[in-house]
């Protein structure tokens, strides 16, 4: 299984799909415990990506129960997985 992290770039995700990626990942959605220099992604970016991609989209980085709820309400979500650290 091949996945490509696209940060907030839909065109990169489209290219990854074209080249055979099994899924793409977008993130970060809020300040995470690690990788604090990663660019922020909006829910609207995922909504737009969902319209043009035909492979699974993964949301990564800074996920919380609160912002996961926003994603669930905004997207065609099949699975949610949160990995929480002790600091969260």
Which band of pLDDT confidence, cut at 50, 70 and 90, is reported for residue 81? Answer: low
DSSP E strands, the chain: 3-7, 23-27, 57-60
Number of H helices, E strands in the chain: 3, 3
Strand 3-7: give its sheet, edge to edge: 3-7, 23-27, 57-60
- What pTM did the predictor assign? 0.78
Q: Please say if the pLDDT value at position 83 is more than 90.
A: no
Each residue's pLDDT tens digit, 8-66 = 999 999 999 999 999 999 888 776 556 567 678 888 898 899 999 999 998 887 777 77
């Amino acid at each position: 299984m091949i996945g490509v992290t696209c940060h907030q770039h839909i065109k990169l995700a489209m290219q990854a799909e074209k080249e055979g990626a099994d899924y793409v990942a977008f993130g970060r959605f809020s300040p995470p415990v690690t990788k604090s220099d990663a660019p922020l992604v909006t829910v609207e970016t995922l909504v737009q990506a969902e319209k043009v991609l035909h492979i699974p989209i993964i949301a990564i980085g800074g996920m919380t129960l609160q912002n996961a709820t926003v994603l669930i309400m905004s997207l065609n979500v099949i699975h949610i997985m949160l990995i929480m650290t002790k600091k969260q």
